[in-house]
Amino acid sequence: MNPLIEKINTDKFFQLRKTIPIIDVRSPAEFKKGHIPEALNIPLFNNEERTVVGTAYKQKGRKKAVKEGLKFVGPKMVDLLQKAEEIAGPEKKLIVHCWRGGMRSESMAWLFSRGEIKCYVLKGGYKKYRNTLRKKMKKNAQIFILGGYTGSGKSELLNELKEMGEQVIDLESKAHHKGSAFGAIGQEEQYSTEQFENLVFEKWKNLDLSGPIWIEDESKMIGRNSIPDELFSQMRSSPVIKIIIDKKERINRLIEEYAAFDNEILIQTIRKIRKRLGGLNCHKAENAVYEGDFYTAIDIVLTYYDKAYEYGLNKRDKNTVFPIPLKSSNNKKNALILKNFIAENFMKEAPASYNN
């Protein structure tokens, strides 16, 4: 047995990852599709090589696959080891994993150990990591859904609640999308759904499930990212704190958020919801944008979005929806109102911080 190679379970993995770099030895394509946040990619095979080895395994068995793999790995062993040494640094420790904790991670751990690097190989690999966190997400939590019409400033309130020490999962931030047809404007490119799930899993595992958790009201899809089923099912059965903001204020918020973008981008986005707006309303909204009358354009668009939100909200149990009018534009003041509402109506023993 190699003393520099140790197989670890997920519990030990979560402990060690705090101080030891994680090396994902899967192909670049696998890594891009989804990976453990903070992991670095040192692929044993590139995308084309992995295809060749995988085909050999399926058609001719493990022995043939190993031989094909050695043809690719042999010439680049020195380079792979050098990369590992640079990442491991003076501590000379790495966590290594592949898809299921099989040949790839074991082979790379052996290679890295030749450079006297202590390697912790994750049993079950990336697949086990995802399954473990998915199971954690099935545990019941005290979730509160922050709802309200488009332009109500829900994201800003979530940020304020977070500043107050509240537990918040900002799904839109993790998805790089604000949920509507306009949601991609000004945002970074979205991750794959698998990677989005990983980011949500990572957030979830650090939460105190006995305390309140705030999440913005979302449909199952945020852009092209899908909320994990385990979380979404809890979201749909959780209380909705529906904030009510004056429509004029909502329009002004949206003007500030979107009016700076190129008119053509806004118009093309309006056209995406043409069937829902109706041809005439779509035409009026487009003309308003061309004329710089963003107030009118947004007012028209909100007619659709407000109806769509009410339609979705009406599918919930009415006894789980709690409207809260907010007359102030002060986010800190409004966040405190929400925090106190939860403390007074849902928490049997409110923490002392709720009385501040």
Catalytic residues: 98
Q: Half-sphere exposure of residue 239, counting CA atoms within 13 Å on the CB side?
A: 19
Burial of residue 215 (CB within 10 Å: 0-12, 13-18, 19+) is buried
Rounded to an integer, what distance in angstroms lies between the CA atom of residue 105 and that of residue 261? 47
Task: Give the three-state DSSP class for 5.
Answer: strand
Neighbours of 314 (CB within 10 A): 9
Neighbours of 181 (CB within 10 A): 18
Rounded to an integer, what distance in angstroms lies between the CA atom of residue 219 and that of residue 298? 21
Q: Could you tell me the sign of the dihedral formed by the alpha carbons of 162, 167, 171, 176, in that order?
A: positive
Q: Half-sphere exposure of residue 251, counting CA atoms within 13 Å on the CB side?
A: 14
The answer to whether the beta carbons of residues 313 and 242 sit under 8 Å apart is yes
